[in-house]
Amino acid sequence: GIQVEQSPPDLILQEGANSTLRCNFSDSVNNLQWFHQNPWGQLINLFYIPSGTKQNGRLSATTVATERYSLLYISSSQTTDSGVYFCAVGRIIQGAQKLVFGQGTRLTINP
């Protein structure tokens, strides 16, 4: 099956710092999503980005599908940005989309 690798696994930063999270995947995909999982377990949609670049406030993402990677940028970090960031890629299997998640990047923002 498809492999999804995220780096770094852990990241500790001071408030106000910028960061870049990376997601590599091993095969072509139909879908790529970035999520933030908060301490209560809720998966919050950040970006639906099979290709191209998108921005939403302090967050932006770029997916280069031909090179099989995606990047999530977080600028001017806040303590509320802490949590686990997942990249998930979608492939069509048996006529349905299967989302495969990476292992996640655990981000800690200290005040």
Give residues in contact with other proteins (CB under 8 A): 30-31, 33, 35, 40-43, 45, 48, 50, 86, 88, 90, 92-104
Give least dist CB 73 to other proteins, A.
20
Min separation Cβ 43 and other proteins, Å: 4
What DSSP character marks residue 67? G
Q: Which is nearer to other proteins, 21 or 88 (CB)?
A: 88
Q: Supply angle C-alpha 94, 99, 105, rounded to 5.
A: 160
Q: Determine contact, residues 26/73, Cβ cutoff 8 Å.
A: no
